[in-house]
Structure 1
Amino acid sequence: MGNFDFDQAEGLRRMLAGPKPRIVTFLSATPEDDKGAMLVNLGASLARAGNDVMIVDACAHEYGVAQRLGVDQGGSLLQVARQECALNQVIHQAPQGFQVASMVRRARGQGEYLGQEDTRRLAKTFDVLVKQAGICIVDGEFGSDDTFPLPIMDNSEIVVQVSCNAASITAAYSLVKRLSQQLGRRPFGILVTGASEAEAKVVYDNMATAATRYLAVQLSSMGSVPADEYLQRAARLGRAVVDAFPLAGASVAFRQLAGRFAIPAGGSAHFGL
């Protein structure tokens, strides 16, 4: 039987601490531009629904969302951690309605080296940043050494983006396997892009069956976003598809996807994993 006084005190501490920041890390097994387009449109959809959205580009090698938006040449969170600049100097307001910051600064396509002390300080800086936003989306990489840049990403909600072609499905399953081997048994979300609902269901069902049978890992469907010419049209305009072409099929899909991540009034929520 639990100690009532202890439980009451612990409950009070949690109430005073407030809701935990919502952190969702996205990984991708699709062409590099597909993830950037998806994150920009998801961020815009969440922002239009009234959420405070921060996208953190944690890509040291891949084509990240900050590079896509042209704000990757400024300061980084690592520079803030090193006390080389202030936090507000590395946060950029995107015209699509969300904020974006780079975790590290790229140099000739390579990220900055992170020593043990850098990682510790960067983790503290990241913690301060995410508490300023309702939802923090991380444009992530799972390194060749099977680690994330920061330990907090290990415990974040993790979504893997996949398309319906065989190479992407194989890469996504391999990524899920690596994640489960490193992070232990835990659920992962699967988002299928560039596919119809029927195609996406086949992809998800096959991946979920294999993950359950061979990895003892539970996958959760995050839905799908169809291939849509209006995505490219909106990108050429420098706008989100939900803003430029609100009736497009992709816009409908992104609004539905945003609904899975939106935080209800009064607290934080998880996406049903």
Structure 2
Amino acid sequence: MSSFDFDQAEGLRRMLAGAQPRVVTFLSATPGDDKSAMLVNLGASLFQSGNDVLIVDACLRNHSVAYRLEMERHADLMQVARQECALDQVVQHAPQGFALALLARDGRLPQDAVEARRLAKAFDVLVKRQGGIVIVDGELNRDGSLALPALADSEIVIQVSTNATSITNAYGLIKRLAQELGRRRFGILVTGATEAEARVVYDNMASAASRYLAVTLSSMGSVPADEYLHRAARLGRAVVDAFPLAGASVAFRQLAGRFSGVRQTRGAHFGS
């Protein structure tokens, strides 16, 4: 099944199940600030295209979305699980238009199974209440698991660059995920690359994953290296807002369309 056919099947399942939120967990084999910058711009692009967007910061280290936006000291879902605050107090609104929620500040993890269930329930209620598109800024725990069991059922996209170390780390992520979650499809987003460079990275990774791991990858497209990304960041704005005609802005609008369920023009999709 091609990547687009897979997207159509996913869309049909969501339609038959009712207005279910689309949950996408992003992991990264690039430096931490690369992922946070990408997610801020993707969130802004999705919001500008008319989507309700919630980003859940599920990272336990710095360089997360909340840290990048200086919104990391707010109430979090861990406090909801511990009955220290209400769920409504968790959601913040970023200047770029999307909503933001923290899973847990300062690396605080559930202390027992009861607290873990409460945290999972708080996340589930938040996601269903939010609707639209939920993006999870995620990372793997030391044992290879995700921050919440529910994330295993989400779509998982891995960000990678053209750097050899990044590609090796991305393959390692896929291997750990496959061992933890079993055989399933993973999305690949190549950043800091031309379309031709991204195609080479994706094709090589897809071939290796299929041959050695029996895992199917799906291309989510690419975002080019662009000085306007850095200029927009210095202004505290998303590139699609500050410089709408920049190459990165075009790429993020295409990417937003892909996650909104709209088939993209040639250049945003490489095939299965």
Establish whether TM, by shorter chain, passes 0.5: yes
Measure, in 1, the Cα distance between the counterparts of 2:239 and 2:68.
16
2:121 is aligned to 124
* More divergent stretch after superposition (249-258 vs 146-155): 146-155
Aligned to 2:235: 237
What is the one-letter code of the residue matched to 1:258? Answer: A
Distance (Å, rounded) in 1 between the aligned partners of 2:167 and 2:233: 26
Give deviations 1:45-82, integer Å, cap 9, x for gaps: 00000000000000012521111111111111110122
Alpha-carbon distance between aligned partners in 1 of 2:258 and 2:108, rounded to the nearest angstrom: 32
Q: Deviations over 1:177-200 (max 9, x none)?
A: 100111000000000000000100
User: Which of 140-149 and 112-121 deviates more?
Assistant: 112-121
1:16-45 alpha-carbon deviations (Å, 9 max, x no partner): 973322100000000110000000000000
**Deviation (angstroms), 1:207:** 0.2
* Corresponding position: 1:61 with 2:58: no
What is the deviation of 1:133?
Answer: 2.8
Deviations 1:222-253 (A, max 9, x none): 00000000001101111100000000000000
Structure 2 counterpart of 1:227: 225
CA distance in 2, matches of 1:250, 1:125: 35
Q: 2:34 is matched by which residue type in structure 1? A: D
Aligned residues: 251
1:80-99 to structure 2, matched below 5 A, reads 80-99=80-99
Greater CA deviation, 47-56 or 80-89? Answer: 80-89
Would you say 1:102 and 2:99 are equivalent positions?
no
Unaligned runs of 5+ in 1: 1-13, 265-270
> C-alpha distance in 2, partners of 1:165/1:234?
24
Alignment of 1:121-270 (within 5 A): 121-131=118-128, 132-263=130-261
TM-score by length of 1: 0.88
Is residue 96–residue 240 contact of structure 1 (8 Å, CA) maintained in 2?
yes
* CA displacement at 1:15 relative to structure 2: 8.5
1:243–1:94: structure 2 CA closer, same or farther, 3 Å change rule? same
Equivalent position SS for 1:101: strand
TM-score normalised over the length of structure 2: 0.88
CA distance in 2, matches of 1:214, 1:19: 37
Cα distance in 2 for residues equivalent to 1:208 and 1:103: 32
User: Is the 1:62–1:141 Cα contact (8 Å) retained in structure 2?
Assistant: no
- Contiguous gaps of at least 5 residues in structure 2: 1-13, 263-268
Determine whether 1:78 maps to 2:78.
Answer: yes
Deviations 1:106-147 (A, max 9, x none): 1xxx33444211110011111111111301000001111111
- The share of aligned pairs that are identical, in percent, is 69
CA distance 1:114–1:63, shift in 2 (3 Å): farther
Q: Cα distance, 1:83 vs. partner?
A: 1.4
Conserved in 1, the CA contact under 8 Å of 2:78 and 2:110?
no
Q: Which amino acid aligns with 2:112?
A: G
Higher-Rg structure is 1
The residue aligned with 2:47 is 47
> CA, structure 1 residues 46+114, in 2 after alignment: closer, same or farther (shift >3 Å)?
farther
Query: How many Å separate the matches in 2 of 1:135 and 1:218?
Result: 23
Q: Secondary structure at the match of 1:159?
A: strand
Task: Tell me which amino acid in the other structure corresponds to 1:169.
Answer: I
Alpha-carbon RMSD: 1.8
